[in-house]
Amino acid sequence: MRVVMVSDVYFPRINGVSTAIQTYHQALRAHGVEVSLVAPDYGQPCSESWITRVPARPVPGDPEDRLVRWGAMHQAVEDAVEQGCDLIHVQTPFVAHYAASAAARRNGIPVIATYHTLFEEYLKHYAPLIPAAWLRGLARSFSRRQCNALDAVIVPSKAIHERLGGYGVKAPMHVLPTGISLQVPASDGNSGGNHDGHRAGRQDFRTRFGIDESRPVALFVGRVAHEKNIGFLLDVIDLARESLPNVLLVIAGEGPALPALRKTVAERGLQGCVQFIGYLDRKTDLPACYAAADAFVFASRTETQGLVLLEAMAAGLPVVSLAEMGTVDILGAGRGAIVPDDNPCAFAVALTGLLRDANLRNRLSAEGREYAAEWSDDKLAGRMAELYRQIVSWHIGQSIPDFNLSLP
């Protein structure tokens, strides 16, 4: 079976969509699905034969992202389909959606999409001068029209399924989260997760960034964007240092909110307990970063899934996180994580209690590793391959897709 994925974003642009595409490309092959991708050109050499890069220019005011040429994207998708395609899988709702939909109609094949981003909750951060109610209405109408033009919609969590249903989406929706690789990152970046390798990775990373070996470290990894609610974590660490004076919040990532957060840290005198370390390579630096931390912290209220929570658990790192939107599906099991009330004081109490209690950290670490294995990319790619085949069969009138809402 051959599937063409179409996206307005992919590596080197780092975000959850890029990670999901890469994960499925690698994992679906074992289930008889060959994936090709049509994505923007970022002006860097591309040696991966499964990717077609489309001419694009930087988005005004957002140099991280690219705006692909309309005609070039349509032609690239058409060319990819002509090379053999059973189904088109759209990953973003911009030019990719329209090019994929047009190619699917012309060639008589099904087109589906994964709803990765809850735009209703994001737009207010990037268009603050426009009334919030108007933005919500625009986002809901836009999503409803696009989803209802598809043969099916994949949603990564039950919360997003319910939200789209409330928008008036009538297309079939299937809850199917993205899995995680249990090989990257493991836990230490050094020797496959054994104790000595873990300790060496931890020490090396702390030495590199000037962090004392005995200092308790809370880690955030992700895009440093306004919707990630990192300001909440600054409030938490400000409170936590009252009872744990040497606590350190490490923020690993890049993004548009970074200048504002640096300014806030300076204005509030938090330089001694907050450290920004920038983007880390997923295959080399990130595993050692997880090993160097004592707890993973997360406060986003708008995630459609929250894969980074599972990555932290797979690395053996206890999690302290708010449970909102898509993260509820991950955190609801109560394994490998503490879920405090949604206020900085409760979060700080939970975090400091965890950092002081080695036995609790060890228990949550073991729970988290075991739990994350249930969300493996291989397991969930198998479900994706099954769904692909059901949709193709349904499209030619042989069957009706029957996918329930069960999660790992």
Find the length of the chain. Answer: 408
**Bridge-based pairing state of the strands 111-114 and 2-6:** unpaired
113 belongs to a structural domain: yes
* pLDDT higher at 64 or 246: 246
* Strand, helix or coil for residue 337: strand
What's the pLDDT score for residue 192?
40
CATH number of the domain at 160, please. Answer: 3.40.50.2000
**Comparing C-alpha atoms, which of 30, 297, 330, 369 is closest to residue 178?**
330
Look-up: residue for tokens 């591309």? 46
Rounded to a whole number of angstroms, the distance between the first and last alpha carbons of the chain is 25
- d(C-alpha 87, C-alpha 66), whole Å: 25
- d(C-alpha 58, C-alpha 307), whole Å: 27
189 belongs to a structural domain: no
Indicate if the pLDDT at residue 190 is higher than 70: no
Q: Do 211 and 353 lie in a common domain?
A: yes
Q: Kindly report, residue by residue over 200-248, the tens digit of the pLDDT.
A: 789 999 999 999 999 999 999 999 999 999 999 999 999 999 999 999 9
Q: Do 53 and 82 lie in a common domain?
A: yes
Q: Do 168 and 244 lie in a common domain?
A: no
Q: Kindly report, residue by residue over 383-400, the tens digit of the pLDDT.
A: 999 999 999 999 887 665
Q: Do 6 and 55 lie in a common domain?
A: yes
Q: Do 210 and 263 lie in a common domain?
A: yes
- d(C-alpha 257, C-alpha 255), whole Å: 6
- d(C-alpha 33, C-alpha 21), whole Å: 13
**Comparing C-alpha atoms, which of 103, 101, 97 is closest to residue 142?**
97
**Comparing C-alpha atoms, which of 294, 110, 279 is closest to residue 198?**
294
328 belongs to a structural domain: yes
Q: Do 247 and 339 lie in a common domain?
A: yes
Which residues partner with 217 through β-bridges?
248
Phi and psi at residue 126, in whole multiples of 5°?
-110, -5
404 belongs to a structural domain: no
Residue 186's pLDDT band (cuts 50, 70, 90): very low
Per the structure, the complete domain to which residue 45 belongs is given by 2-179+376-395
**Comparing C-alpha atoms, which of 348, 360, 357 is closest to residue 243?**
348
111 belongs to a structural domain: yes
Distance, C-alpha 199 to centroid of its chain: 28
Q: How many domains are there within the chain?
A: 2
The whole-model pTM stands at: 0.88
What's the pLDDT score for residue 197?
58
Extended beta strands in 22-170, E state: 34-40, 51-54, 56-59, 62-68, 87-90, 111-114, 152-155
Phi and psi at residue 18, in whole multiples of 5°?
-60, -45
405 belongs to a structural domain: no
- Work out the average pLDDT over 259-284: 95
Average pLDDT, rounded, for the chain: 92
Structure tokens at 400: 């009706």
Q: Do 136 and 227 lie in a common domain?
A: no
Q: Do 231 and 366 lie in a common domain?
A: yes
187 belongs to a structural domain: no
Q: Do 360 and 380 lie in a common domain?
A: no
Residue 81's CB is within 10 A of a number of other CB atoms, namely 23
Residue 132's pLDDT band (cuts 50, 70, 90): confident
Phi and psi at residue 328, in whole multiples of 5°?
-60, -40
* pLDDT higher at 172 or 194: 172
Q: Kindly report, residue by residue over 323-349, the tens digit of the pLDDT.
A: 999 999 999 999 999 999 999 999 999
